[in-house]
Amino acid sequence: MEASSTPAQPVDLVDGFGRVVRDLRISVTDRCNFRCTYCMPAEGMTWLDRAEVLTYEEIERVARICVERFGVDSLRLTGGEPTVRAHLPLLISRLAALRLADGRTPDLALTTNGATLRNIAGELRDAGLARINVSLDTLRRDRFLAMTRRDELDNVLAGIAEAKTVGFDPVKVNAVIERGANDDEILDLARWGRDNGVEVRFIEFMPLDATNEWERAKVVTQDEIVSTIGAVFPLEPVPARGAAPADRWRYADGRGTVGVIPSVSHPFCGDCDRVRLTSDGQFRTCLFATDESDIRALLRNGGSDDEIAALVTRAVGAKWAGHQIGQVNFIRPNRTMSQIGG
Ligand code: SAM
Ligand code: SF4
């Protein structure tokens, strides 16, 4: 494998709309130990063969090119469930060793369902993980079982506590709200976040489920979420989201912050700075993209760093303005959330 020389100065990866890429989301596996109803079917997922999935060396190489050549300063590991992949701390330590051309360390984060975090949070932190987001959609055990099809609520809560204990600060909790499933828990989740010192980020339900059950009526919008919380715990907006997907509010009484990721009701495509690498090595410029670029073929056929960088540049140059959820032109991607990497 040829490693071409790195240009002295990184160049920004700019798309046709002037947006600069800063964030690379890396899916490390399509597999998962949960079966969340809004993401996967109860049974019958077709998994990638092991040989199709990028090795840690391959992932590191793509990340290094993005960091060193293009100034990407944010790396997010996701899946599927990233913690089910063997030796995840090894990948984390490799990515934590990357440096931008100006010497900075890229921000390294992980999104997890938290089921095994109780046992591995310390190891992840020691490996160099900077931030952690844990998904938790309900505080009720029976509902947790219904929504994830696994009886793991206590483990997830213990995992969140352990993440705090080992020093992740802040710990963020992602809660997908689906009308009729858990929309009556918005206030309970917000209160729990305040009481436990975690920022809860409510996510609007997106049409990326495997069973095609998404419909607009099941989306609980940012406006509804904020007014539900604000009626009990007054909120003040935190200005300037920039490229971050979450809009944030602080509690007026000073007890923390809460966020909403309003992908459906207030799409933030105009500020998007993200690209994605799927676990089978496909480069995507949008969660909802209907096309992909095959980095794995280049990686495995002797492609040089220059050729990989050129593929990335071409793909970003062709990035669209944004998804069109809810409009007649919207086309669902042919992969689901867990296959792309949320
Ligand atoms: N397994 C990990 C987890 O659940 O945190 C990481 C992967 S998961 C696909 C990433 C995020 O996507 C999670 O917060 C999950 O709740 C969210 N998600 C999955 N399907 C979704 C959907 N249809 N709409 C909105 N968010 C979704
Ligand atoms: Fe697994 Fe995360 Fe999808 Fe739930 S949302 S099934 S935990 S990948």
Q: What is the pLDDT of residues 80-114, one digit of tens each?
A: 999 999 999 999 999 999 999 999 999 999 999 99
Interhelix angle for 305-317 vs 56-70, to 10°?
70
**Residue 321: Cβ within 10 Å count:** 13
Residue 3 pLDDT > 60: no
- Compute, in angstroms, the gap from residue 18 CA to the centroid of ligand 2: 33
Q: Classify the C-alpha dihedral 172-173-179-185 as positive or negative.
A: negative
- Compute, in angstroms, the gap from residue 29 CA to the centroid of ligand 1: 13
Q: What pLDDT score was predicted for residue 326?
A: 63
- Compute, in angstroms, the gap from residue 134 CA to the centroid of ligand 2: 11
Grade residue 211 by pLDDT with cuts at 50, 70 and 90: confident
Indicate if ligand 2 lies below 6 Å from the C-beta of 175: no
Q: What angle do CA 180, 181, 184 make, to 5 degrees?
A: 75
Q: Give me 25's structure tokens.
A: 């989301």
- Compute, in angstroms, the gap from residue 341 CA to the centroid of ligand 1: 8
Q: What pLDDT score was predicted for residue 328?
A: 62
- Compute, in angstroms, the gap from residue 136 CA to the centroid of ligand 2: 10
Q: What angle do CA 263, 264, 265 make, to 5 degrees?
A: 105
Q: Give me 214's structure tokens.
A: 């998404």
Indicate if ligand 2 lies below 6 Å from the C-beta of 224: no
User: From atom 17 of ligand 1, which residue's Cα is the shortest distance away?
Assistant: 342
Best probe residue, ligand 1, of 131, 135, 149, 221 (max atoms within 8 Å of C-beta): 135
Indicate if ligand 2 lies below 6 Å from the C-beta of 36: yes
Indicate if ligand 2 lies below 6 Å from the C-beta of 185: no
Best probe residue, ligand 2, of 47, 81, 203 (max atoms within 8 Å of C-beta): 81
Q: What pLDDT score was predicted for residue 1?
A: 47
Indicate if ligand 2 lies below 6 Å from the C-beta of 178: no
CA distance 65 to 81: 25
Residue 341 pLDDT > 80: no
Best probe residue, ligand 2, of 211, 335, 338, 339 (max atoms within 8 Å of C-beta): 338
Which ligand is closest to the CA of 76, given by its number? 1
Indicate if ligand 1 lies below 6 Å from the C-beta of 205: yes
Strands (E), 278-336: 282-284, 293-294
Could you give the dihedral angle defined by the CA atoms of residues 117, 122, 124 and 130, in that order, rounded to the nearest 10 degrees? Answer: 110
Residue 149 pLDDT > 90: yes
CA distance 132 to 160: 9
Measured in whole angstroms, the distance separating CA 65 from the mean position of its chain's CA atoms is: 20
Q: What is the pLDDT of residues 245-280, one digit of tens each?
A: 889 999 999 999 999 999 899 887 888 999 999 999
To the nearest whole number, what is the mean pLDDT of the chain? 93
Q: Taking residues 222-230, what's their average pLDDT?
A: 98
User: From atom 2 of ligand 1, which residue's Cα is the shortest distance away?
Assistant: 112
- Compute, in angstroms, the gap from residue 337 CA to the centroid of ligand 2: 8
Give the end-to-end CA distance of the chain in Å, rounded to a whole number. Answer: 30
- Compute, in angstroms, the gap from residue 174 CA to the centroid of ligand 1: 8
Q: What pLDDT score was predicted for residue 324?
A: 67
Indicate if ligand 1 lies below 6 Å from the C-beta of 39: yes
Q: What is the pLDDT of residues 231-252, one digit of tens each?
A: 999 999 998 767 788 899 999 9
User: From atom 9 of ligand 1, which residue's Cα is the shortest distance away?
Assistant: 342
Indicate if ligand 2 lies below 6 Å from the C-beta of 150: no
In this structure, which long-range contacts are made by residues 324-333, counting pairs with CB atoms below 8 Å and at least 24 apart in sequence? 325/206, 325/207, 325/263, 325/264, 325/267, 325/288, 326/216, 326/264, 330/207, 331/290, 332/207, 332/208, 332/212, 332/288, 333/208, 333/287, 333/288, 333/289, 333/290
Which ligand is closest to the CA of 152, given by its number? 2
CA distance 198 to 117: 16
71 φ, ψ (degrees, to nearest 5): 65, 25
Grade residue 2 by pLDDT with cuts at 50, 70 and 90: very low
Residue 327 pLDDT > 70: no
Indicate if ligand 1 lies below 6 Å from the C-beta of 27: no
Q: What domains sit in the chain, N to C, each tagged with a CATH number? A: 23-340 (3.20.20.70)
